[in-house]
A and B are shown apart, each in its own frame.
Chain A
Amino acid sequence: DTAVSQTPKYLVTQMGNDKSIKCEQNLGHDTMYWYKQDSKKFLKIMFSYNNKELIINETVPNRFSPKSPDKAHLNLHINSLELGDSAVYFCASSQDAINSEAFFGQGTRLTVV
């Protein structure tokens, strides 16, 4: 039973399109995150969401918006996709935002053509 699952695993789309990536965790965790991994494997936090409080990394374009229908889900919606958005996006969750480890999903490889 997958702890953090995200769909789709692969997403190929054209520039200018709008797309969503879904994430669900069945661990009962309070905090969820989205990370972006670039072509050089560098990982950077995009958002964290804890008890309806959203923390946004200031470098993330406002074309990216997280949506959380409930504590177990944190979806990522991207408007007007650009070539530079191509990356692997990871969803993660943790029991709390302080010392507990994060559990990661398998990643979504987004390719914008």
Chain B
Amino acid sequence: GDSVTQMEGPVTLSEEAFLTINCTYTATGYPSLFWYVQYPGEGLQLLLKATKADDKGSNKGFEATYRKETTSFHLEKGSVQVSDSAVYFCALISGGGADGLTFGKGTHLIIQP
């Protein structure tokens, strides 16, 4: 079945540091890939997505590129802020989509001032 593997953290960085959260996947066919973010006490919000190979999703300074050859979708940001502290989930949807999103285990990101 489909699966998503991401670094679990917690990841602790200083403000303005460079961020990379690794995500790799296993899926049948050509999945769509997503990053969701969950702030404390809240639901999940879509951060960015990519639906085909070599697509780059971007939002709020975050970027991720769909790499089919390495089955990866790593999340990056050049300069993190304290307000970026949250749990980040890599996810995919494949096939007919009726099975819903398959999530990684989430990465807890802590940004210190």
Interface size on B, residues (CB 8 A): 25
Chain A residues lying within 8 Å of B97, measured Cβ to Cβ, are 31, 94, 96-99
Chain B residues lying within 8 Å of A102, measured Cβ to Cβ, are 46, 100-101
The dominant DSSP class at the B interface is strand
Please, which residue of chain B has its CB at the minimum distance from the CB of A98? B97
Most buried by A among B43, B49, B51, B93: B43
A-contacting residues of B (Cβ < 8 Å)? 32, 34, 36, 38, 42-46, 49, 51, 87, 89, 93, 96-103, 105-106, 108
Q: Are B44 and A104 in contact (CB under 8 A)?
A: yes
Interface size on A, residues (CB 8 A): 29
Chain B residues lying within 8 Å of A106, measured Cβ to Cβ, are 42-43
B-contacting residues of A (Cβ < 8 Å)? 4, 31, 33, 35, 40-45, 48, 50, 53, 55, 57, 90, 92, 94, 96-99, 101-107
Q: Are A55 and B105 in contact (CB under 8 A)?
A: no
Quote the shortest CB–CB distance from A31 to chain B (angstroms): 8
From B43, B51, B102, contact of A104 by CB (8 A): B43
Most buried by A among B34, B49, B99: B99
A50 to B44, CA, bound (A): 21
Name 27 A/B residue pairs within 8 A (Cβ), A-sorted: A4-B43, A33-B101, A35-B101, A40-B105, A41-B38, A41-B106, A41-B108, A42-B103, A42-B105, A43-B103, A44-B103, A45-B102, A48-B99, A50-B98, A90-B43, A96-B97, A97-B96, A97-B98, A98-B32, A98-B93, A99-B32, A101-B46, A101-B49, A104-B44, A104-B45, A105-B43, A107-B43
